[in-house]
Chains A and B, each alone.
Chain A
Amino acid sequence: MTSIGTGYDLSNSVFSPDGRNFQVEYAVKAVENGGTAIGIRCKDGVVLALEKLVTSRLLKKDANKRIATVDRNIGVVHSGLLPDGRHFVSRARDEAQSWRGTYKAPIPVSSLANRMGSYVQAFTLYSSVRPFGITAIVGGWDAETDVDVDGAVGSGPKVGAGGKTKGVKEGGPYLYMIEPSGLYWGYYGAATGKGRQAAKAELEKLKLDPKDGECISLEEGVKEAARIIYVAHEDSKDKDFELEMTWISAVNGPTKGRHEEVPKALKEEAERLAKAALEGEDEDEEKMEK
């Protein structure tokens, strides 16, 4: 940050002589202080997980949910300034609703990511606004089965003109991460927030790329997500935290293509394993030292 104080970092939408937009970079700093958020794209679904730092003992436990539902099949987790995250979510919901209004069908995750990328980018263009102080991870499942258009009555012709094409298969799990600049990529595993470095290192160890053969299942993904959040929390051990996890499975999977919170039993199991894995690591380290 050599250019701090030169005046090029005082207003949004202004380039510095070396071609940087400092206000966007500062917005990224706001994200880097937030709790770790991750998303994992598994074979048969998507997991979203969040390290929720407990800032006060007076907070109600297990309330204050931060992973939001945007459409039935899409969830968003974000790290950074909380109110900016809610602004993002509320816009995403509007986009999803307006898509349904136009196309009478749910918005594909890729289209939502695209629209939200454009929206976030627009907040880097003008000096009258500031960029979003969040990085958002958008995960969802595009239905692979034939979906009726909204409001359909009856089933239409079974064969012939207007009938259904056999064997057509599309849809599946999708995961995108949108940054304060408006930049977004599709991911197999995405991480942001304070512990993103550790989380990324762990994500890279997982089998997530379909090109490398079978990638991990949704249930494995849930357990890995819990473990990664616990690992990422290690460095900032000072504060207490709550783990929040949601998932979206295939239409024939456990959530029936919907974005839901991970069931209590499974989450507790995942947390137990995560803690055990951490303790195991510590023991290993101790052994090494000996």
Chain B
Amino acid sequence: MNHFPQAWGRPRDDVYGQYNPSYLPQSHGGTQQPITHTQSPIVTGTSVIAIKFKTGVVIAADNLASYGSLARFTDVHRLKHFNRKSVVGVGGDVSDMQYLDRLLKSLDVEENYSTGSHTAEESETDPAMMGANNLHTYLSKVMYKRRSDFNPLWNALLVAGLDEKNKPFLASADLLGTTFSGPTMATGFGAHLAQPIMRRIVPDEAASQQLGREEAVQAVRDCMKVLFYRDARSMPEYSIAVIDEKGVELKEKEVLENQSWDFADKIRGYGTQTV
């Protein structure tokens, strides 16, 4: 009798001949590789940042999709306009972002089955329109389901907009299915480089309720500049969206202005410098 655990419940070799373990995984003497899903993102977008202000939310992300360290695509729009109450900003794998975008589109089509045969004016003020909070709950369930299947969507998302009661809403969901919310949010490098700057302006919820639209937009633009200075996977062209009661104002071809690289004067050892 063979007492090794891998022989438990198997036909006896001395009666039936050598057992063929080829269908088993390698850990059990077979040749099968374990099933693997995405191990790392391929083409990626970098940070997304956002700030809540008195009556809405500002959100921004640059237009670059990198292939490793190569700046591969330079006109990629990473802010996705869902409805007049919400925008989703996507960082991480770009093909997963495209999948999410299709998911959002089909959700939008479904949402408009019931309200769709309404006049345009009616749907403007539809009290049952999905709020950004509803969208965030949905997306976080999608992300969590995928990570629980060990097949994550390799993204970090910010959902910005207004909730059902038209109050500003901002929250994140990531590839682990983790969710967070706060008056200022940033994904990727932005969490290290932009978040401290934004928190200086908006330290807490109360401060964001005092913040005006213009100031919020300016803060986000400043942060985008800092991110371009210091994040090597970024570019100076970016998208910015403001969501408030008037709807979504999305600009996808903004360019950083008044750049100053003076701070880099003393930095040595990179690029083509010889001295």
Spell out A's residues near B (CB within 8 Å): 65, 67-69, 71-72, 75, 93, 96-97, 100-101, 104, 150-155, 246, 255, 258-264
Q: Measured between alpha carbons, how far is A151 from B153 in the docked complex, in Å?
A: 15
- A100 near B106: Cβ-Cβ < 8 Å: yes
In chain B, residues 99-126, which have Cβ atoms closer than 8 Å to a Cβ of chain A? 99, 101-102, 105-106, 109-110, 112-113, 116-122
Q: Measured between alpha carbons, how far is A72 from B117 in the docked complex, in Å?
A: 10
- A261 near B119: Cβ-Cβ < 8 Å: yes
- A260 near B120: Cβ-Cβ < 8 Å: yes
- A154 near B119: Cβ-Cβ < 8 Å: no
Q: Measured between alpha carbons, how far is A255 from B78 in the docked complex, in Å?
A: 27
Q: Known contacts A155-B75, A263-B121: does B113 contact A68 (CB below 8 Å)?
A: yes
Can you give 27 A-B contacts (C-beta < 8 A)? Answer: A67-B117, A69-B112, A71-B109, A93-B110, A97-B106, A101-B102, A150-B105, A151-B98, A151-B101, A151-B102, A151-B105, A152-B98, A153-B94, A153-B98, A153-B101, A154-B63, A154-B65, A154-B76, A154-B77, A155-B75, A258-B116, A260-B116, A260-B117, A261-B119, A261-B122, A263-B121, A264-B119
Residue on A nearest B105 in the bound complex, by CB: A150
Instruction: Annotate B128-159 by CB proximity to A: 1 below 8 A, 0 otherwise.
Output: 00000000000000000000000000000000
Excluding A152-B98, A155-B75, 19 further A-B contacts by CB distance (< 8 Å) are: A68-B117, A69-B116, A72-B112, A72-B116, A93-B110, A93-B113, A151-B98, A151-B105, A153-B73, A153-B77, A153-B98, A154-B65, A154-B77, A246-B117, A258-B116, A260-B118, A261-B119, A263-B121, A264-B121
Contacts of B99 in A (CB 8 A): 151
Q: Known contacts A261-B118, A261-B119, A263-B120: does B113 contact A69 (CB below 8 Å)?
A: yes
Residue on A nearest B94 in the bound complex, by CB: A153
**In the A-B complex, the 7 residue pairs with the closest CB atoms:** A69-B116, A151-B98, A154-B75, A151-B101, A153-B76, A151-B102, A261-B119
Choose one: B97, B105, B112, B117; the contact of A153 (CB below 8 Å): B97
Give the distance to chain B from A260, nearest Cβ to Cβ, in Å: 6
Contacts of B78 in A (CB 8 A): 153
Q: Measured between alpha carbons, how far is A71 from B65 in the docked complex, in Å?
A: 31
**Residue from B76, B77, B98, B116 with most neighbouring chain A CB atoms (10 Å):** B116
Residue on A nearest B115 in the bound complex, by CB: A69
Give the distance to chain A from B64, nearest Cβ to Cβ, in Å: 10
Residue on A nearest B75 in the bound complex, by CB: A154
Q: Measured between alpha carbons, how far is A93 from B112 in the docked complex, in Å?
A: 12
Spell out B's residues near A (CB within 8 Å): 63, 65, 73, 75-78, 94, 97-99, 101-102, 105-106, 109-110, 112-113, 116-122
Q: Known contacts A150-B105, A153-B65: does B119 contact A75 (CB below 8 Å)?
A: no
Residue on B nearest A264 in the bound complex, by CB: B119
Contacts of B77 in A (CB 8 A): 153-154
Q: Known contacts A153-B76, A263-B121: does B109 contact A97 (CB below 8 Å)?
A: yes
Q: Measured between alpha carbons, how far is A104 from B110 in the docked complex, in Å?
A: 16
Choose one: A71, A150, A154, A262; the contact of B101 (CB below 8 Å): A150
Give the distance to chain B from A284, nearest Cβ to Cβ, in Å: 34
- B120 near A100: Cβ-Cβ < 8 Å: no
Give the distance to chain A from B236, nearest Cβ to Cβ, in Å: 16
Contacts of B121 in A (CB 8 A): 263-264
Give the distance to chain A from B212, nearest Cβ to Cβ, in Å: 32
- B73 near A154: Cβ-Cβ < 8 Å: yes
Give the distance to chain A from B84, nearest Cβ to Cβ, in Å: 14
Give the distance to chain A from B80, nearest Cβ to Cβ, in Å: 9
Q: Measured between alpha carbons, how far is A258 from B76 in the docked complex, in Å?
A: 26
Q: Measured between alpha carbons, how far is A258 from B120 in the docked complex, in Å?
A: 10
Contacts of B97 in A (CB 8 A): 151, 153
- A260 near B119: Cβ-Cβ < 8 Å: yes
Residue on A nearest B98 in the bound complex, by CB: A151
Give the distance to chain B from A246, nearest Cβ to Cβ, in Å: 6
Contacts of B120 in A (CB 8 A): 255, 260, 263
Give the distance to chain A from B237, nearest Cβ to Cβ, in Å: 11
Contacts of A93 in B (CB 8 A): 110, 113
Contacts of A97 in B (CB 8 A): 106, 109
Give the distance to chain A from B36, nearest Cβ to Cβ, in Å: 24
Choose one: B63, B110, B117, B119; the contact of A263 (CB below 8 Å): B119
Contacts of A71 in B (CB 8 A): 109
Q: Measured between alpha carbons, how far is A151 from B101 in the docked complex, in Å?
A: 5
Choose one: B94, B102, B112, B117; the contact of A100 (CB below 8 Å): B102
Residue on B nearest A68 in the bound complex, by CB: B117
Contacts of B75 in A (CB 8 A): 154-155
Residue on A nearest B113 in the bound complex, by CB: A69
Q: Measured between alpha carbons, how far is A68 from B115 in the docked complex, in Å?
A: 10
Contacts of A154 in B (CB 8 A): 63, 65, 73, 75-77
Q: Known contacts A151-B105, A154-B76: does B98 contact A69 (CB below 8 Å)?
A: no
